[in-house]
Chain A
Amino acid sequence: MFGKNTFIIAGIIFLTLLFTAAAGCIGSSPTDQNAVLKIATPNEITEASYYGNYNFAQITRVATPPLIQVDENGDYVGAVAKSWTVSSDGKTWEFTLDPNYQWSDGTSLTADDVKFSLEYAAEKITTAPSWIKSAAITTSENVVTISLADPVYRLFGDLVAINIVPKHIWGSIDDPEEYISAGPYVGSAAYYVQSVDTNSATLVLAVNPAWKGNAPYYGTVELHWFATEDAAILAMLGGECDTYWKYGASFPTSSVALLDSSEKFTTVETPSLKMSYVGFNTISSDAGSDLAFRKAIAYALNYDELVEIGASGYALSANSGFIPNGVPYYKNTPANIYNLATAKLMLDAAGYKDVNGDGIREDTNGSALTVTLLTRDKVAGELIKEYLQKAGLKVEYKFASDLNAWVELKDAHAYDIAYNGITAKGMMMDSGWATGYFASNTLGAGKLQNVDDPVFLELCAKIATTPDGDELKALISDLQDYYSDNMPGIALYWSTDVTPINTEIDGWYISKATGILNEINLLSMHPAN
């Protein structure tokens, strides 16, 4: 397509030579100080601010890890904490530290550092979770105990985002969100941040000499960020970078075809926690609060086409239980089926008949059945609009061009049907299992909060205060039944995450939360053969 074969072949020969040369050095030390792994990313670090810049915080998670991390299955495994216990009332959490983690400046990582990091986040960071402010944290030798005022069973979802930082460095920094430094930043994992430069758009991770765990292969890992996604992908395809990473996101699905046609890259597809759905205004809309109407609409949406166009085929059609099969306590419910004839019959049966024969159904008052469709996504919005029109509805299309317009419209419940997306993080927000997107008593810009049914809200409250186990499993089963029976929202598709794999590198490990940029992967990656 680009006539680049010669370039690619030259690149492969060069890299092969490089790797054979590198392989010669492996015998003595497992780390090759000269080996560099380059990662391209569209997540720019606009300021060299550890706490102030969101992307910096995500990237440096591999250098100053939190207590725990997410593995390839979406389960929590240890990072700075080797093991942990929780009391039966969910109030006392004990973490035992892993002695492998040592600060790169030679200082040892102590329970005091952990206590400091949690309290520091509570005090200084605006986005810190609320439980942390009222928690009492005590230490004894290498054990940290968090005592909570109220039980929080979904504590880990928050802990994976709180980095453990060195007290002897940050203790003297009063306003961490404004603190800017080009590095080095003292780290505790296999790598530490050696430098960060916004002018060259590069962050360099160097091997931590004090690290006591397995030695990584690459002496240096570099992150290169680009202003556009296209530039990042071209840098990878052009051989400038070895792989691609984007926080919490798949490789852009519409570009996967490029990887398939490249000799150097293959792809790995993993089920994601992300999904797309339409929500109904069950609070103030006549049609939206009619269950028969919602169920009819579920037959009017062309799910296969939504997968094909909305996700370039990298998604699964969903079922009526709403939440994807990768989520804990998933239960099988009937699949969503597209059948326009059934949808029309059901609308007729629900009383929305086209009496005057103008092709548009009338509502129970005899006026044209008009639904307001709210969307922030151009492609999905246009498709859904078309499906609704095919079912005989008159659609008033409201496109929110920015978050501000969206928040205003959805907070005013100025819609009947709204298209929205669910993120992996959002899936587990509030009471979890996507409830945060529906419950009218939650807060947040990305959520519709379109259900005020007391049955649903009570279910959410119960889930929030129930520890993992059979009781929770039963509640989540009830929740999926509620989604399936009441259809406050219809899942359009469950996304698939696509990760590009450079075939010249072996040992890939893909975390469900952070993709390839995770500690385990950095330790296991090495040149192929």
Chain B
Amino acid sequence: MKFDRRYILPGLLILLFLIVAIFPGMFAPYSISDRTATYQAPGADHLLGTDNMGKDIFSLLIYAARWTLMIGFASGLLAVFVGTAVGLLAGWRRGALDEFLMGTTDIVLILPKIPLVIILAAYLGPSPWVLIFVLGLLSWESIARVVRSKVIQIRSSEYILAARCLGFSDCRIMFKEILPVVFPVIVPKFVLVTAAAMISEASLAFLGLSDPQTVSWGGMISDAFTYSGFLRGMWYWWLPPALCIILGVLAITSLAFIHERGVREVMQL
């Protein structure tokens, strides 16, 4: 397969975000507990000024990458795990199990996610884990579908038949033969779930349903609004995290988009 140059820009951006998220200390000039004068405008000492507590906004932006990406990727991974398992089982076994699993998929599809997260967060208290679990456990339906149709497509192909005739166990065939084939269709779905989770995190933070002890981009925007950053015209407080979310999501979706070459169902979130 020829390497597509269009992967480079979004790929680099995500790589940068990931490096920043893993080693924030290398990039942040201050720690998240350092404080100086409050509400400073951007300057040489503080690239993006300081917030209501006198914390360096640029440093917060860097430390916030970790939780935001964590919520995104953890939801994506969980969705991939459940979706692939359901899709493989349904496609391989067919019959009643298929019927049952696809029925479940239909049901999961219908549940309104954001309202469900809101009601759960109200009862259980806001926590990134609630978000990860709800988004992860409710976003696998499109993954299950593509995996299932791919499995149905290849299960009757000759090399799988050959493997079955050789008496390999179902499990072995699934992991050795089917999973590698299915993998490319999972990747774009995974990144789309990740992107959706990042947007959801930001939206819930706006409702005050984010854990104040974790620094995230959505939480930063929400803080900027709570502590007058928006009114004071401190665009350098809320715009950078907003751009990070938008750019992150954009990079992630465009990876999926390029991968599927504009084929339909790309934006199926």
Interface residues of A (CB under 8 A from B): 1-2, 228, 230, 233-234, 252, 254-255, 257-258, 308-309, 312, 378-379, 382-383, 386, 397, 399, 401-402, 405
Contact = CB atoms under 8 A, between A and B. Distances in A.
Contact of B53 (A1, A228, A309): A309
B53 A405 contact: no
Nearest to A233: B231
Interface in B122-140: 122, 125-126
A401 B126 contact: yes
B231 A382 contact: no
Nearest to A378: B212
Contact of B52 (A254, A397, A401): A254
Given A234-B231, A258-B232, A401 B38 contact: no
A405 B232 contact: no
B80 to A, nearest CB: 30
Given A252-B228, A312-B38, A401-B126, 15 more contacts: A1-B232, A228-B225, A254-B52, A254-B227, A254-B228, A257-B39, A257-B228, A257-B232, A258-B228, A309-B38, A309-B52, A401-B125, A401-B211, A401-B212, A402-B125
A2 B52 contact: no
B42 interface: no
Given A308-B38, A379-B52, A258 B33 contact: no
Majority DSSP secondary structure for residues of A touching B: helix
Nearest to A1: B233
A257 B53 CA distance: 16
Contacts of B52: 254, 309, 312, 379
B230 A382 contact: no
A255 B228 contact: yes
A230 B213 contact: no
Contacts of B212: 378, 399, 401
Contacts of B125: 401-402, 405
B54 interface: yes
B230 to A, nearest CB: 6
Contacts of B33: 386
A397 B122 CA distance: 21
A503 to B, nearest CB: 20
Contact of B231 (A255, A386, A399, A401): A255
Contact of B233 (A2, A312, A401): A2
Nearest to A397: B213
B131 to A, nearest CB: 13
7 contacts: A1-B232, A1-B233, A234-B231, A257-B39, A257-B232, A258-B231, A312-B38
B196 to A, nearest CB: 24
Interface of B: 33, 38-39, 52-54, 122, 125-126, 211-213, 225, 227-228, 230-233
Nearest to A375: B212
Chain B CB within 10 A, most for which of A2, A254, A399: A254
A309 B233 contact: no
Contacts of A379: 52-53, 227
B213 A399 contact: yes
Chain B CB within 10 A, most for which of A228, A312, A405: A312
A258 B231 CA distance: 8
Contacts of B122: 402
A382 to B, nearest CB: 7
A519 B33 CA distance: 47
A401 B125 CA distance: 6
Q: Which 3 A-B pairs have the closest CB atoms?
A: A254-B228, A1-B233, A378-B212
Contacts of B232: 1, 255, 257-258
A360 B4 CA distance: 56
Nearest to B227: A254
A405 B53 CA distance: 25
A291 B228 CA distance: 39
Nearest to B38: A309
Contacts of A234: 231
Nearest to A383: B53
B67 to A, nearest CB: 15
Chain B CB within 10 A, most for which of A2, A252, A401: A401
A257 B229 CA distance: 11
Chain A CB within 10 A, most for which of B38, B39, B126, B211: B38
A401 B123 CA distance: 11
A258 B39 CA distance: 13
Contacts of B233: 1-2
Contacts of A228: 225
A261 to B, nearest CB: 9
A402 B127 CA distance: 12
A386 B125 CA distance: 25
A401 B227 CA distance: 18
Contacts of A383: 53
Nearest to A255: B228
A255 B225 CA distance: 11
B53 A230 contact: no
Contacts of A397: 213
A424 B31 CA distance: 38
A255 B39 CA distance: 11
B54 A309 contact: yes
Contacts of A252: 228
Nearest to A257: B232
A312 B53 CA distance: 10
Given A1-B233, A309-B38, A399-B212, A382 B228 contact: no
Contacts of A2: 233
Contact of A382 (B38, B53, B126, B225): B53
A404 to B, nearest CB: 8
A383 B55 CA distance: 12
A230 B227 CA distance: 10
Nearest to B212: A378
Contacts of B39: 257
Contacts of B53: 309, 379, 382-383
A230 B54 contact: no
A292 to B, nearest CB: 29
A400 B122 CA distance: 13
B205 to A, nearest CB: 13
Nearest to B125: A401
A395 to B, nearest CB: 12
Given A255-B231, A258-B231, A309-B52, A230 B225 contact: yes
